[in-house]
Amino acid sequence: MIVPVGAVLGLSAVLFGIGVFGFPARRNIILMLISIEVMLNAVNLSLAGFSRYLEDLRGQVLALFVIAVAAAEVGVGLGLVIALNRNKPGAAVADLNKLKW
């Protein structure tokens, strides 16, 4: 074990916290999706760290599935962004209040 597992888990927690901050704080839909990517990367990091520490390959396989789900999420999310942008130009979430009452 070259890299200490605690450092990997701590780094993962900090990156996840940055993503958790970015998602509600930003007002641009694309940057909110980018914050989700940061969070998913943090989770992948901790999965790889556990996989190395426990010498078990399942963590890496799970991280691959997370990457596949992230790709699906990006496809649907950006499709939604394009559809929203066609109706109302600009990607600020504050303008999207049609469903609000």
Report residue 11: phi and psi, to 5°.
-60, -40
- CA contacts within 13 A on the Cβ side of 39: 14
Q: How far is the CB of 101 from other proteins (least distance, A)?
A: 20
Judged by CB under 8 A, does residue 21 bind other proteins? yes
Instruction: Report if residue 88 touches other proteins, rule: CB under 8 A.
Output: no
Q: Is 13 in the site for other proteins (CB under 8 A)?
A: yes
Tell me if 40 sits within 8 A of 72, measured CB to CB. no
**Residue 52 sits in the site that holds other proteins (CB under 8 A):** yes
In whole angstroms, what is the distance from residue 59 CA to residue 56 CA? 7
Q: Is 6 in the site for other proteins (CB under 8 A)?
A: yes
Show contacts with other proteins in window 31-50 (CB under 8 A): 31, 33-35, 37-38, 41, 44-45, 48-49
